[in-house]
Amino acid sequence: YGNADEGGRNKLDYNKMVQVPVLVVLPAQKQPIEQKVADLQILSKELQKKSEKLLNEAKDKFKPEKINGNLRNWYNLTWDKFKSEIKKYGGVVIDKQSFDWVDIFKENQKEAQVLALEIRRQEQELNEMLYALYGFSPAEIELIENAN
C-alpha cells in the first residue's frame, strides 16, 4: 500500500466507508431529475451544434489561426468584439464581408443566446431539485452557489 505522500497508494478502510451517508433515491424522485438532465443534454448539444456551425463558417470566411475561448462563446460578444477576436488570431475581416456577416452573426447570436439562457434556467431548476432532495438548508445552498 505505501504512504500516499510518498507516491504510494491510499488504502480504503471499509469500516470508515460504511459511515459515509449515501442518499437512497426512490424512482419517483429520480425520474424528474433524469428527465431534466436529458433535457439539458439536448439543449447543450443544440447550442454546441449552432456554435460549431457559425465558427466553422467564420473559420472558412475569415481564416483565423485558431479559435480561442472568447470566440468559443461568440454569442456573448458584440459584433465588434467578435471581429476583434478574429483579427487578434490572424483572421481578416474586410468591410464588405463585415456588412454581409453582421446580419448572419446577429441572427445566430439571438438563437444561441435563447438556448444559453434556457440552459442556465434549467440548470438552476436542476440545482433546486437536488438541493431539495438532499435537504440542504438556505445557508448550505448559499455556500454552494457562492463557491461557483
Q: Residue 85 pLDDT more than 80?
A: yes
* Burial environment of residue 136 by CB neighbours within 10 A (0 to 12, 13 to 18, 19 or more): middle
- Give per-residue burial for 84-97: e unless 16+ CB within 10 Å, then b: ebbeeeebebeeee
Average pLDDT for the chain: 90
* Burial environment of residue 39 by CB neighbours within 10 A (0 to 12, 13 to 18, 19 or more): middle
Percentage of the chain lying above the pLDDT 70 cut: 92
Q: Residue 18 pLDDT more than 80?
A: no
Q: What's residue 126's pLDDT?
A: 97
Q: Is the pTM higher than 0.75?
A: yes
Axis-axis angle for helices 79-88, 95-134 (nearest 10): 100
Q: Note whether 93 and 71 are within 8 A (CB).
A: no
